[in-house]
Amino acid sequence: MATDWWWPAGWAAAGALLGTGTVDLTRRFLLTGGTVARSRWFGAVLTAAVLALLSWRIGTRGEVFVYGVAAVLGVPLAVIDWCEHRLPRALVLPQLVGAAVGFAALSLIRADPAPGLRALWALLASAGCCLILALATGGGIGAGDVRLAAVVGLVTGWSGWPAVAAALLVASVLALVLSAIPRAHTRDERGAAVVPFGPCFLGGVLAVVTVTG
């Protein structure tokens, strides 16, 4: 773990710059939402905070760049899903491909394919479980959630199966908490609570990566 102040500070500065730019993605895909969700300062602050935390915990290892790619696109995804319960495929797929390419590069550089293969299997397992839940709930979980679950599996699977399980558990707990907060969820035609799973998934990944490194 890097303890020098300049490393997370540098990543925070990069996050502020990248977050300012990715707000354009938020504005492009966000049909509603208030001025805060669309503001450049909000995207900059969120992205800077996430990248600073990741770089502080991961240090100078190559994983920080892969996690950084996922985080930069994760911020607009979380904002859009929070406001409209949507996870645009045009953002999730580049996030998934970017992380996959990054992990593949690390596997080649280190001549160690095991973490990459495990991440691939975790991708399939996480997406498959979410797909089963989507079919079982009859619409409670959308296609965007299934795609993002693949990202969760890929990113946490690189560290190990316990990290995958922990991230999904944290995401489930966050979803339960949101379902108990009136302003944090909506109701479907059957009266059931519908929560934005995107922020929950991404929060679970961030929590696990921060704890496990």
In this model, does residue 123 exceed pLDDT 80? yes
Separation CA 18–CA 16 (nearest Å) = 6
Contact 157, 122 (CB under 8 A): yes
Separation CA 10–CA 194 (nearest Å) = 38
Can you give the pTM of this predicted structure? 0.90
% of the chain at pLDDT higher than 90: 75
> What mean pLDDT do residues 52-76 have?
95
Q: Say how many residues make up the chain.
A: 213
In this model, does residue 1 exceed pLDDT 50? no
Query: How far, in whole angstroms, is CA 23 from its chain's centroid?
Result: 16
> What mean pLDDT do residues 184-210 have?
77
In this model, does residue 212 exceed pLDDT 70? yes
pLDDT confidence band for 182 (50 / 70 / 90): low
Beta-bridge mates of residue 186: 194
> What mean pLDDT do residues 130-155 have?
88
In this model, does residue 14 exceed pLDDT 90? yes
Separation CA 11–CA 52 (nearest Å) = 5
pLDDT given at position 134: 84
pLDDT given at position 184: 52
Contact 30, 80 (CB under 8 A): yes
Q: Which amino acid type is present at position 182?
A: P
Sign of the alpha-carbon torsion through 127, 29, 10, 111: positive
pLDDT given at position 60: 92
List, in sequence order, the alpha helices (H) in 85-186: 89-110, 114-137, 143-157, 161-179
